Structure 1
């Protein structure tokens, strides 16, 4: 089996990192994987195999015949069995390349978010319906993402399955070895994610203001980079929080930060299934998160963490206080969460599920509705709750 993964650009964002990790696991299992980036990017992705770049024009992404032709040439040369488009503009380039240059390989789209929150107008919806008409299968990161997708594009209800994101085994975390300075603060609270509107850093700071009224020694550690970082820094100064909010920038080993924290805070307003939650489970760090997208499929309230109604900042702050003061309860949550992630969300097992999906498509077996939206909210078995 040879799989071509089309990614937006070399960047250390969830979609690109997971595609790289999945490609590595495919090769370790005896398959072949190729990464093709649509746009240029500076990051070194965690994949040691074959990588191509279309060097497409961002200003001509709707008319970029040169890049579409280059993709077709790569496909003709490499002869992959499956093309997987991973978020961003990747499906646009795959669909137009296939339409104009006639290659026959099936296209899979990986749906990693809540697509309805980005498609606002009827025209954009019709355009995306056209793109999805070129897709054999949609693989959603969570049941919530799949349900959301089907509501917008019901014609694909028999062509969508859920395979979640996974995480990598990390011996440094497992053995407690750090490669970073000790995090300061009492308690040490952390958020890991790009500075984008979806991550809701403004709301996070508002929650943190409530927290420090109860725990004045708390420090909030922000790991990540992105377009709204400067705006967030300005907001920190405006709120007088400069001494209590620490910006760490992008980090190659975020798990080492998460492992040291007393709690991970995730007040996102849009999510598919964020890998950082699974990483916190793996690090045995308590999670407090808004009930957004597929988060509730892993953060099961009062079992693996605290799941808070969206935008309820008072309840969020109260849950942080509870997580820090109720050691017996939180130890039970941590044990449940660790069991969940290590038995159902490790990338080596996730890769097997992707291979089965690829084989089904290449064998031209139809997907039936009973394979769609398999329930995952109750994946934790009673024997360890």
Structure 2
């Protein structure tokens, strides 16, 4: 459970009955999976910024697109933005991109079964959701060495702090995300999955809890 949920439950149950165990994945398995997935090699002359998730209000794809627009106004030739996922707002955002004549800079990929293959080719993954727990996409991104810029919410806060990624954004605005992405691209972070988010650590924590 995310720390945020733990805090809410503390007001209902005794603290001794609440234990927070983070989601865990195997970085090795994620890397092997990504390597085996065939995706088109992106243009290596530009930087690639990705969004992965449902195209629904809470995910704030609007902030991703507004940040993309701001960054493209200052650097239209060396950036490309990718949106992976589907949802009820997709058509609206596709129309927004067309109206702004940004189709050559922003690609909607829809749902894909080879997302890990794509994530490893991104220079930055941007997650501007209103709320998050501890999304698997964030764990996969770090496991693949792809730096993240994300809203400082839920389980993303301890995760990115542990990863020393410096990608957390407190001010939930397009301009703040654009600024952080620009900083990350200028000085790329060398990231990896923190040991406490490895699947083996997760399993050991659960076993220790049951053994009391």
TMscore range, shorter length? 0.7 to 0.9
Decide which structure has the larger Cα Rg and report it.
Answer: 1
Q: What are the within-5 Å matches in structure 2 for residues 67-146 of structure 1?
A: 140=1, 142-146=2-6
In the alignment, is the contact (CA less than 8 A) between 1:163 and 1:354 conserved in 2?
yes
Partner of 2:19, secondary structure, is: strand
The answer as to whether partners of 2:31 and 2:143 remain within 8 angstroms in 1 is: no
Counterpart for residue 249 of structure 1: 110
The gaps in structure 1 that reach 5 residues or longer are 1-139, 366-385
Instruction: Tell me the residue number matched to 2:128.
Output: 267
Task: Kindly indicate whether residue 138 of structure 2 is the aligned counterpart of residue 277 of structure 1.
Answer: yes
1:165 Cα deviation after fit: 1.4
Could you tell me which residue of structure 2 aligns to residue 167 of structure 1? Answer: 25
1:203-352 to structure 2, matched below 5 A, reads: 203-217=63-77, 218-300=79-161, 303-326=164-187, 330=188, 333-334=189-190, 337-338=191-192, 340=194, 343-352=195-204
What is aligned with 1:17? Answer: none
Deviation at 1:247, TM superposition (A): 1.3
Label 1:319 to 1:166 Cα distance change in 2 as closer, same or farther (>3 A): same
Q: Using the alignment, how far apart are the partners of 1:259 and 1:171 within structure 2?
A: 9
Name segments (4+ residues, structure 1) moved above 6 Å.
none
Alignment of 1:194-205 (within 5 A): 194-205=54-65
Task: Give distance in 2, aligned partners of 1:305 and 1:173.
Answer: 27
SS in 2 for 1:209: helix
Secondary structure of 2:201's aligned partner: helix
State the Cα distance separating 1:338 from its structure 2 match. 1.0
TM-score normalised to structure 2 length: 0.86
How many residues get paired? 207
CA deviation digits over 1:110-147, x for unaligned, max 9?
xxxxxxxxxxxxxxxxxxxxxxxxxxxxxx2x212311
Greater RCO, CA 8 A, separation 6+: 2
TM-superposed deviation, 1:192:
0.8
Aligned-pair RMSD on alpha carbons?
A: 2.4
Distance 1:165 1:208, change over 3 A: same
Name the structure 1 match of 2:40: 181
Whether 1:155 and 2:7 are equivalent positions in the alignment is no
TM-score by length of 1: 0.49
**Residue 163 of structure 2 contacts residue 192 of structure 2 at CA under 8 Å; is this kept in 1?**
no
| Alignment partners' CA distance in 2, 1:208 and 1:293 | 24
Alpha-carbon shift at residue 296 of structure 1 (Å): 1.1
